[in-house]
């Protein structure tokens, strides 16, 4: 497996992050859409990714979800992870990001976004830090500060979260409690 693709300024940008937002389909999931016979949309989320999002939050980084689709299961997952800022059925992700930045009194230099498709490029390029899964669209990979080795819905979010925590010097502290458990 090859190493993640990282632009030179990615670490410096990740170091300043106070807000990290994520797309859902293709990022928090593998992009597959499942429907029951009743028309209910079902998505599969990865527990590695979920724990990465919790680690970001514990480290003081605000986590948001900004997605173009609406699904009840996304609302449930966000609630389960303690994510307060959930925006679904969004046509203009950059507009939503700018509104969230204003609400939180942050600048784009303190924000990041992880997306996988060309629809995510406007918000990704407006933020200081951007990431995409290893199976993100080729154009998105060219513009992302970080392209993960892992794919969407398969640990890519966790990889990005740990990259951010490492850049901020917080990864060792985030993982330390789990290492201490094994030493008892």
Q: From CA 67, how far away is CA 49, in angstroms rounded? A: 16
What is the number of H-type helices and E-type strands within the chain?
A: 8, 9
Known binder of ligand: residue 166? no
Known binder of ligand: residue 117? no
Tell me how far CA of residue 1 lies from CA of 148, 150, 178, in angstroms.
11, 9, 26
Known binder of ligand: residue 109? no
Beta-carbon contacts of residue 73 (< 8 Å; ≥ 6 apart): 41, 42, 43
Query: Is 101:114 a contact under the CB 8 Å cutoff?
Result: no
Provide the 8-state DSSP code for 63. E
**Which ranges constitute the DSSP H helices of 34-137?**
47-58, 72-80, 93-104, 121-126
Q: Mark the binding-site residues for substrate, compressed into ranges.
A: 25
Q: Mark the binding-site residues, compressed into ranges.
A: 23, 25, 116
Q: Mark the binding-site residues for Mg(2+), compressed into ranges.
A: 23, 116
């Amino acid at each position: 497996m090859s190493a993640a693709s990282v632009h030179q300024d990615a670490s410096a940008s990740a170091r300043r992050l106070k807000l990290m937002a994520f797309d859902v389909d293709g990022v928090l999931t593998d992009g597959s859409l499942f429907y029951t016979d009743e028309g209910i949309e079902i998505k599969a989320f990865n527990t590695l990714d979920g724990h990465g999002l919790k680690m970001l939050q514990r480290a003081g980084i605000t986590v948001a979800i900004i997605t173009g689709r609406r699904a009840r299961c996304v609302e449930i997952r966000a609630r389960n992870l303690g994510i307060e800022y959930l925006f679904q059925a969004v046509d203009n992700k950059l507009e939503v990001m700018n509104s969230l930045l204003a609400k939180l009194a942050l600048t784009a230099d303190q924000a990041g976004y992880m997306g996988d498709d060309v629809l995510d490029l406007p918000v990704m390029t407006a933020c200081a830090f951007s990431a995409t899964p290893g199976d993100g669209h080729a154009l998105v990979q060219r513009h992302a500060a970080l392209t993960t080795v892992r794919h969407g819905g398969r640990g890519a979010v966790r990889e990005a979260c740990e990259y951010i925590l490492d850049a901020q010097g917080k990864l060792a502290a985030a993982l330390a409690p789990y290492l201490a458990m094994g030493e008892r």
